Structure 1
């Protein structure tokens, strides 16, 4: 969870830097291509095959649209006007969307008070960090695009947990196939904005490579593992750690000032995540739901 939060939380920083040399469409397509290459290499290294069957690939394309193609595009568009730190904070709404979707489709029939309280505490911490009562100019089309991306992630996580994991297919095979599907979905968008002239700089090239290989490829595989092992809602709670990561990276890499309010908000976020995961970590085999089962060969 910590590694995933670090890699995923750095995504917003890499997108921001990559946009200095590439268009949003170019960033989206390049990160999908590089992530596909990375996950295919992992798949081959583990001697795993890609999933087969038309029905399975239809599900993979649906998951790729909601969990990859759509949110990747929305983030690249949103960060043209929204800072990387604010993007990380807005993406932290993913756990809340995930709970609402889980309750709607029945995967979260039982919501223990500890987990429910943890989600509320985590959201309160995000609000403290974001401080909407003190921020001006953040609510606009860019911010709405990022919030829509966060909701799209939640839809994708729920769909993946309900239709793809727990079927005896290794997660490295699923993640490789899904990101390939995302590449197929995003590549046709190049004529709509990806053919503009690039302004190559060392920083932009390094950023898009790190974004594709680590912040997309490795991150997506880790996300699949957590969804398979602990369920979609629990996987989405990593979103509450993203503001912590984005703020810390802003302070370390960009020299941004971290106020007492932000530090207090990060502490509240960590407490909320701890409450959510504490309930899951307690041994209670009888309470496990079907989506938490671990299939052989993972």
Structure 2
């Protein structure tokens, strides 16, 4: 019987993350009409923290080691907390296309910060793939931009979200070498929830008047795109570079276009579809390895198997 290829598990985890993060854009559009940015962020973080906390108790994960807390705290403040609020706020000020375009600066910042602070390699295929994907994101953003839908405040907020996203990812990477993916995600989410506690009054007041569908979308955002997707992201990030994982998220705009088409009936134009194809093509290039690298990796795996065999 053929043994499962465990090298595919990080790829599968990254795929789950990308699909669920793409679905979040559809849910945010639904919930954002009834919840303000801070209230939506707090509700999402609280529901995510509850699910993650229960998982930690069931798995008896315990507290992360002291050496991991710095990265967890920074990622919790920047990515889970600050990013959630400013992105929700920014999407109320600009159209979806502009928001997607500005936020997609994030993977480029991750690559630059990862190379500078973590020593991540910057192979030509990664750089080429990111360039193709960014061109696709620009195409999608421009094709989806509405007239008069942008504001300077909205662009600045989305830019801040991109910076927070990049900083959170780079801070999270070292913590994953010292604590489990579930621990890093759970306590990062808790820190983000604490940061958003000043919005408690807004959340309580808006929940009383919000339709059930908006509240269910908020809960969905906490359980799936946050609790599940951030855990699978952390699992995959622990097994690859921050730069390569950041490039993977360029598949999100293409999936958002598809999901908006299926769930909201928003038929994409030819330019939008072309941009989505470019996004996916760039991700494929950035995730690929040169043939010589694959041969070397295969040879190393064969030698490792021979060493493990009994004499």
The TM tier, using the shorter chain, reads: 0.7 to 0.9
The alpha-carbon deviation at position 67 of structure 1 amounts to 1.4
Maintained 8 Å contact 1:91/1:239: no
* CA shift in 2, pair 1:6/1:90, >3 Å: farther
The alpha-carbon deviation at position 58 of structure 1 amounts to 4.2
Question: What is the aligned-residue RMSD (CA, Å)?
Answer: 2.4
Maintained 8 Å contact 1:21/1:200: yes
The alpha-carbon deviation at position 28 of structure 1 amounts to 0.9
Q: Distance in 1 between matches of 2:36 and 2:180?
A: 34
Q: Distance in 1 between matches of 2:251 and 2:283?
A: 8
Q: Which runs of 5+ in 2 are unaligned?
A: 1-13, 298-311
* CA shift in 2, pair 1:92/1:44, >3 Å: same
The alpha-carbon deviation at position 86 of structure 1 amounts to 4.8
Aligned residue runs from structure 1 range 69-88, under 5 A = 69-84=81-96, 86-88=98-100
User: 1:170 is matched with which residue: 169, 177, 180?
Assistant: 180
TM-score (norm 2): 0.82
Structure ID, larger Rg:
2
- State the number of aligned residues: 280
Residues 61-92 of structure 1: per-residue CA shift (max 9 Å, x gap): 22201111010001111122334455344432
1:7 paired with 2:20, answer: yes
Maintained 8 Å contact 1:8/1:242: yes
Single out whichever of 248-257 and 44-53 deviates more from structure 2: 44-53
The alpha-carbon deviation at position 115 of structure 1 amounts to 1.1
| More helix by percentage | 2
Q: Distance in 1 between matches of 2:38 and 2:78?
A: 16
1:60 paired with 2:72, answer: yes
1:257 paired with 2:252, answer: no
Map of 1:289 onto structure 2: none
TM-score (norm 1): 0.85
Maintained 8 Å contact 1:32/1:180: yes
Q: Distance in 2 between matches of 1:44 and 1:88?
A: 36
Q: Which runs of 5+ in 1 are unaligned?
A: 286-298
* CA shift in 2, pair 1:80/1:173, >3 Å: same
